[in-house]
Amino acid sequence: MRLILASASPRRKELLARIGIEADAIDPADIDETPRAGELPRVYASRIAAEKAAAVAPRHTGSLVLAADTVVAAGRRILPKTEQEAEARECLSLLSGRRHRVHSAVTLVDREGIARHKTSSTIVTFKQLKPAEIDAYVAGGEWHGKAGGYAIQGYAEAWVRFLSGSHSGVIGLPLFETRILLETAGYPLD
């Protein structure tokens, strides 16, 4: 049974490897990821994961297609995947000393073309960040391309005062939910 990972994220590939799974192919989706007006963060993550899977599945008939999306949210605000230093500073300043949520949605399209969905929501609280800490983190570049401007699997993990939920979901793929979807589709595990 072939498994296609609809993501170019090296972190998702690494996370799958943690549970002994190697995708047979990587085929990232090319979709518009612009949030809709008024769209809530959890709904947005679920929609994007589903759209990624739907875009890739027709190219791999008879295979399992796994897609995911991770969103960092401050209240109802969806934080960007930071591309500029100013964005990273803004996100880190916003998250400093406060609780936020990370929604990580997974969609699996099975061999019959049926899509199943799971979403993990994790609460993360950062310590109060000093301006010098933000400056050093931004200078290190770890924030680049990361939702909310940080990588919990890197240096930013030292800022986490509290986490309730899926650590792997914050990285980019909730392994518990992913494993359930794969088991349901008959993918051989263990």
pLDDT digits (tens, 9 = 90+) for 122-180: 999 999 999 999 999 999 999 999 999 999 999 999 999 999 999 999 999 999 999 99
Set 24, 27, 32, 69: catalytic member: 69
- Give the pLDDT mean for 53-61: 97
Q: Which of 118, 94, 114 is nearest to 178 (CA)?
A: 118
What pLDDT, on the 0 to 100 scale, is given for residue 96? 98
What pLDDT, on the 0 to 100 scale, is given for residue 21? 96
**Overall pTM surpassing 0.85 (yes/no):** yes
Write out pLDDT tens, residues 71-112.
999 999 999 999 999 999 999 999 999 999 999 999 999 999
Q: Is residue 27 among the annotated active site residues? A: no
What pLDDT, on the 0 to 100 scale, is given for residue 110? 97
The domain defined by 3-184 folds into Maf protein (3.90.950)
What pLDDT, on the 0 to 100 scale, is given for residue 189? 87
Q: How far apart are CA 23 and CA 1, in angstroms?
A: 10
For the chain, the C-alpha Rg in angstroms (whole number) is 17
N-to-C CA span, the chain: 15
